[in-house]
Every structure is written in structure tokens, then in C-alpha cells.
Amino acid sequence: MRKKTREKLLNIVKQNYSEIATDFDISRKKYLWPEMEKFSELVFEGAKILDAGCGNGRLLEAFNGKKVDYNGFDLSPELISFAKENYSEQEFFVDDLLKLENLPERKYDFIFLIAVILHIPDRNLRAQVLRSLADKLEVGGRIILSVWDFYGQKRFDELVRKSETKRIFSFDGRECGDLLFLWTSGDGKSKSQRYYHAFKDKELKSLAKSAGLEMEEFYKSGKNIWLVLRK
């Protein structure tokens, strides 16, 4: 992918979450995905957890009643402000998956990457991100990763078709599966452009392999694909 295209898409992601932060915070307080509760059972007392792309920090709801050593970061200062407001006793900071400048010098038992890597353009950049996170794991540690299952759900068919058609005729250097579409606020008054990468199963498995991680689980549930990757 051309550098100019990659930078454009990364800027779209950053701008989007700045624009939708308030609505995102509200929507992520409604309920916790069942899979988060399921995977929380893997987490033991005192586990060191990194929530990469933590948003408003709602993953912490999965660990209620369990003492864990948690760090959460996100690219969006607005979402980190909400996270600090929602969970004032926890440690959150602004950081970029592509740089990881602010991470503590430590190894983690679990890294959660929930609906995050699908916002990273360029297959090489995604592999770089996953390898960088794998380096932060303890031996035997796990990355729990999810992406939207765009190709596996009929409700996404039209969105994928229209976005792919626009991509082909735009000649802007986006890769197959790179989707651009408008997000609409809950009250219908504002819109914001979003970027997602739609993964096929083979592509996800190849990505995990490129990071040198063992795949413990790969399955689909609801609108998501879930992977448990072990170092």
C-alpha cells in the first residue's frame, strides 16, 4: 500500500473516533459481549492485562470481582478521558499501536485486541502491530483478538459490495477488503467517515502465523470472528 494512502486511512480512523467518542461511550455501556465474559474465565487472579485500543474501558466489566493488574490505552484522547471517568481507579493512557511509546516496561499475561486491528490499513502494518504486541507477552501468554465478520453476514453484503466497487474505481491504492463508509449518530444528526478492513478467514490465520503465535481458538459468534493466540 502506498504511504500516502496508508496515512490517509489512519487519519480517518483517528478523526472518526474523535468525532464519535461521546456516542461510542454511551453505546458501550449498554451490555458486555458474552465472549468477553467467556474469555475472562481464562484470566487468573493477579494476571497482567493489556487492553490495546481500550476505548472507554468497558472490558474491565468482564473482570468484576477479580483482582487483575490492568493497563489500557487508546489512540483517542477523548475515549481515554471517558475511560478515566468510568474507571478512575485504573491506569489508562494515550498511545499508538504503531509506536507503543508509553507502554510500561513489562510483559503481559493477556493482551486484548477487541475490534481494533480491523482499523489498521496495510497487511504489512497489521503484521507489524501483531508482532509488536506478541513481543509484550510472557511466554505462554495470550492475545485475544476480535474483528467484525463482514463477509459472513448478509446484513453487511450491500455495505461490502458498495465499498468494494468504490475502492476499485477510486484507484487510491486501498487493498481488497478496505471499506470506507459513513457512521451516523444515534440521533441521526451527525455523520463521520469510518475505515474498516474486512478480513477473510485465511487472511486472519496467516496474520497470526506471521506473528509467530499458536492459534488455540478460531470461531465466529454473532457479527464477530474471535481468535485466541498463544505465545
Average pLDDT, consecutive stretches of 10 residues, N- to C-terminus, the chain (231 residues) = 93 92 72 78 94 94 91 96 94 94 92 97 96 96 96 89 88 91 76 93 95 94 93 96
* Residue ranges covered by each domain of the chain: 3-153+199-230
- The predicted pLDDT at position 24 comes to 75
Closest CA to 202 of 151, 158, 163: 151
- The predicted pLDDT at position 149 comes to 95
Q: Record the cell numbers describing residue 78, joined without a space.
A: 477523548
- The predicted pLDDT at position 231 comes to 96
Task: Write down the CATH number for the domain with range 3-153+199-230.
Answer: 3.40.50.150
> pTM, whole model, 2 decimals?
0.93
- The predicted pLDDT at position 128 comes to 95
- The predicted pLDDT at position 64 comes to 86
